[in-house]
Structures are given as structure tokens and as C-alpha cells.
């Protein structure tokens, strides 16, 4: 099995790395310090076609494979996790939702605008009482006279205040309370209001908002597929998002390692660079092993996705392992910085804060571990209860 990158993938990898090094790195510290999304940077990414990498050309995207898309996220996350996650939410969830389940009319109306970066997208699933237990939706969409009346509250909506288009997951009581559907809602939709932005430990360039839907009327044609068909698509989107976060974790670990190496070579104690110390070298060796192990998990899951094969388990494994690798890398490299690592003046402190979110986003570690174990136990007649998302 050969996972060597093709010439085209290598070419795009060069473009992604150049953009990340020349543009993303330049504004990463400002993004974090000002706690503001890098809007000008996102415009530049859109102009390069980077907000629609896996979207077909007929809908305004670059038409690249999913592995190439993970290379983009890895490159961006090497310098700024906030920007990488913003792109992942927009592409892996909002745009891919339309691609997988939207009607041709919705694709032409909205997907082309998302792929080109004309508007940003959000994906509204989480609620106050529906986090890991995502199927406990309270937001409901009731059909009335050719429209749907949507009522509910969505929390932790990434890109909430930036998005021009929201993809909303809502229960459809007519099809049964446990069923759901997805709807495309424009930012100006009557009854939709973006509220409180969460102050966060890390990812300070990512906007996370509570969004209120109060008698929000949505045209029936803005529904994805048939009533009650939403969970199958949501499950697929979650797989794509977890694989995306694994790529983000890979980039974050690489970025942290680079910061540690740079500091250790320049920092001198007892007359020599600390990079010459055995203990410091062990940190680098362990981190490099973790990074290369994670790279294979990420590339394997992406390869399965591109081959049209089932990759849910592999995406969950890559995401779970990725969050741990990123955490360990940031922690070890901060330790190498010593007291300087505890200072906000050094970028490693930002990485240390940012990677903590990766163990929660896209499924908490505890839930993923159970989900990964479930098939192994099921083959032995043991079913996990409650059934986790």
C-alpha cells in the first residue's frame, strides 16, 4: 500500500505550505491577542481557492481529493489552530453538508458561494442538553403551509457571528421525535439571532456563539432530503470533521515541535545549547515518533474516504490519537521553554492553550474511546448503553 503523494498533491502541498508560512504565520499572534477572527486572511485564503478545496469545480471548488484537503488543514494548523478550525467548520461541515445532501437548487444557490468564500458557513447541531448525546435534540422544525417553523437554541456554534449561511439540524416531530432534518438558513432569516460569544481558554480567533431560533420560517425547499433522513448525513459529516481535526492536530504537533527545536538550539545553559542535553533530545525523539504515527493514521483515513470506503472507525481513531499527540507535543515543548513557555510572549503558550480544545471538539475523548471499543465488544455480544453518538 503506497501512500506517497502524487505530483499534483505535492504541488498543492507546496502552495499550502507557502500560504501558511507567509500569510497565516504573520497574523497568528495578532489573531490570538485581539481575540478576533482573521477576516483579511480568510479573504486571501478564499482568493486562492482554499475554502473549497474538496468541493467539485462545477460548484466553484478546487475539486481536489480529501487527502489534499487534510494537507491544507495540517499546513494552516502548524501556525494557527483558530484559522484551521474555522476553515474546517466551513468546509467539512457546512459545505460538505450541501454537497452530500443538498438539492441541485441548494447547491447552485449556496454551495457555490461557500466554495468561493463569498460567505462563510456554520453547522448548528449542539444544544444546551444535546452535546455528546446529540440525538437529544430539542430544536424542532414543524411544517406549516409550505414552510418550516423552527424553534430552539443552538450553543457553541463555531463561526456563529461570521457565517452568512447556517446549516441547522432540527428534529422533525412529524417524522418521529428521534428523526431529524437539516436546513439551510441565511444569516438574515427572520427569527434567527446570534447571541453571546463564549470567552474561551484557547482558539481565541474562533467565534463560538449561542444562536436563537424563534419562529424562524424556512422555505421547504431549504430542507436537505426527506424528513427524518438527517442522521445518516450528520453521521457522515461527523466522520469528515473528525478526520479534519486529526489533520489539524497533526499540524499543531508539528508547529509545537518546530518551536521547541528553535528554542533549544538558541537557548544556552551551562555553556552549551540545551538541544545538546539528553533529556531534551528524548522529548524531541518521542514527539517525532508520535507525529509520524499520527501522519499515517490521518493519511490512511483520508485514503479510505477518497476510495469511497467506510472510514468512520479510522476517523475516530485518528481524531482521538491526534488530540493526545498534539497535547503531548505542546506540553513537552513548553517544558523545553522552561519559564519562557509560561509567558504569553512566546508562541508555545498559545499552542498549549489551543490544543486543549481538540480533546473536546468533534467528540470528547471519553465518548470516542467507547465508540472505538463498541465494534470490538459487539463482536463478542456486548452492547454499549447508552448508545453514544
Residue bearing the bigger pLDDT, 200 or 226: 200
Relative orientation angle of helices 81-88 and 66-77, to the nearest 10 degrees? 150
- Read off the pTM: 0.95
The per-residue pLDDT for 227 is 74
Domain ranges of the chain: 7-120, 122-227, 231-378
Residue 300: pLDDT above 70? Answer: yes
Residue 179: pLDDT above 90? Answer: no
Matching fold, domains 122-227 and 231-378: no
Q: Quote the cell numbers at residue 283.
A: 522529548
The per-residue pLDDT for 1 is 67
The per-residue pLDDT for 178 is 66
Q: Considering only CA atoms, which of 342, 351, 389 is closest in space to residue 370?
A: 389
Peptide bond preceding 386 in cis form (omega within 30 of 0)? yes
Residue 359: pLDDT above 60? Answer: yes
CA 151/CA 215 separation, integer angstroms: 6
pLDDT over 70 percentage in the chain: 97
Once rounded to an integer, what is the mean pLDDT over residues 133-138?
Answer: 85
The string of pLDDT tens digits covering residues 256-295 is 999 999 999 999 999 999 999 999 999 999 999 999 999 9
Handedness of CA 33, 39, 42, 44 (dihedral sign): negative
CATH for the stretch 7-120: 1.10.540.10
The string of pLDDT tens digits covering residues 37-93 is 999 999 999 999 999 999 999 999 999 999 999 999 999 999 999 999 999 999 999
The per-residue pLDDT for 173 is 79
Once rounded to an integer, what is the mean pLDDT over residues 17-31?
Answer: 98
The per-residue pLDDT for 389 is 44
Once rounded to an integer, what is the mean pLDDT over residues 152-169?
Answer: 97
The per-residue pLDDT for 136 is 85
Transcribe 161-199 into DSSP letters: TT-SEEEEEEE-GGG-TT-EEEEEEETT-TTEEEEEEPP
Once rounded to an integer, what is the mean pLDDT over residues 106-113?
Answer: 96
The string of pLDDT tens digits covering residues 215-259 is 999 999 999 877 777 888 999 999 999 999 999 999 999 999 999
CA 79/CA 31 separation, integer angstroms: 11
Residue 387: pLDDT above 60? Answer: no
Q: Is 352 exposed, middle or buried (0-12, 13-18, 19+ CB in 10 A)?
A: buried
Q: Cell 482554499 belongs to which residue?
A: 50
Residue 3: pLDDT above 90? Answer: no
Q: Considering only CA atoms, which of 133, 148, 131 is closest in space to residue 184?
A: 148
Fold of 231-378: Butyryl-CoA Dehydrogenase, subunit A; domain 3 (1.20.140)
Residue 344: pLDDT above 70? Answer: yes
Q: What is the tally of helices (H) and strands (E) in the chain?
A: 13, 10
Residue bearing the bigger pLDDT, 232 or 347: 347
Q: By the 8 A CB rule, do 53 and 62 touch?
A: yes
Q: Quote the cell numbers at residue 107.
A: 447547491
- To which CATH superfamily is domain 122-227 assigned? Butyryl-CoA Dehydrogenase, subunit A, domain 2 (2.40.110.10)
Amino acid at each position: 500500500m503506497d501512500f506517497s503523494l502524487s505530483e499534483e498533491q505535492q504541488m498543492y502541498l507546496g502552495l499550502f505550505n507557502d500560504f501558511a508560512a507567509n500569510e497565516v504565520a504573520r497574523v497568528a499572534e495578532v489573531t490570538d491577542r485581539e481575540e478576533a477572527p482573521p477576516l483579511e486572511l480568510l479573504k486571501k485564503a478564499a482568493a486562492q481557492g482554499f475554502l473549497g478545496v474538496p468541493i467539485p469545480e462545477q460548484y466553484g471548488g478546487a475539486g481536489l481529493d480529501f487527502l489534499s484537503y487534510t494537507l491544507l488543514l495540517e499546513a494552516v494548523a502548524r501556525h494557527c489552530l483558530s484559522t484551521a478550525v474555522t476553515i474546517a467548520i466551513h468546509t467539512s461541515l457546512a459545505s460538505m453538508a450541501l454537497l452530500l445532501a443538498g438539492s441541485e437548487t441548494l447547491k447552485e444557490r449556496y454551495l457555490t458561494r461557500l466554495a468561493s468564500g463569498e460567505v462563510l458557513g456554520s453547522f448548528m447541531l449542539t444544544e444546551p442538553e444535546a452535546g455528546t448525546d446529540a440525538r437529544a435534540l430539542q430544536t424542532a422544525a414543524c411544517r406549516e403551509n409550505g414552510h418550516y417553523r423552527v424553534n430552539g437554541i443552538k450553543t457553541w456554534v463555531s463561526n456563529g457571528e461570521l457565517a452568512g449561511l447556517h446549516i441547522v439540524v432540527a428534529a422533525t416531530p412529524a417524522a418521529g421525535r428521534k428523526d431529524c432534518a437539516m436546513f439551510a438558513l441565511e444569516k438574515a432569516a427572520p427569527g434567527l439571532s446570534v447571541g453571546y460569544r463564549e470567552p474561551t481558554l484557547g482558539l481565541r480567533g474562533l467565534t463560538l456563539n449561542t444562536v436563537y431560533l424563534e419562529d424562524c420560517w424556512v422555505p421547504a425547499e431549504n430542507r436537505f432530503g426527506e424528513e427524518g433522513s438527517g442522521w445518516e448525513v450528520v453521521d457522515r459529516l461527523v466522520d469528515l470533521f473528525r478526520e479534519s481535526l486529526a489533520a489539524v492536530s497533526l499540524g499543531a504537533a508539528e508547529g509545537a515541535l518546530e518551536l521547541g527545536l528553535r528554542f533549544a538550539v538558541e537557548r544556552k545553559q551551562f555553556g552549551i545549547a540545551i538541544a545538546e542535553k539528553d533529556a531534551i533530545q528524548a522529548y524531541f525523539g518521542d514527539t517525532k515518533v508520535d507525529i509520524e504515527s499520527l501522519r499515517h493514521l490521518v493519511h490512511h483515513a483520508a485514503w479510505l474516504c477518497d476510495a469511497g470506503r467506510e472510514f468512520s472507525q479510522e476517523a475516530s481513531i485518528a481524531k482521538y490519537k491526534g488530540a493526545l499527540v498534539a497535547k503531548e507535543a505542546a506540553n513537552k515543548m513548553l517544558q523545553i521553554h522552561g519559564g519562557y513557555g509560561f509567558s504569553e510572549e512566546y508562541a508555545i503558550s498559545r499552542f498549549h492553550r489551543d490544543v486543549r480544545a481538540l480533546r473536546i471538539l468533534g467528540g470528547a475523548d471519553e465518548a470516542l474511546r467507547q465508540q472505538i471499543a463498541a465494534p470490538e465488544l459487539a463482536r463478542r455480544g456486548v452492547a454499549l448503553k447508552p448508545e453514544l453518538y
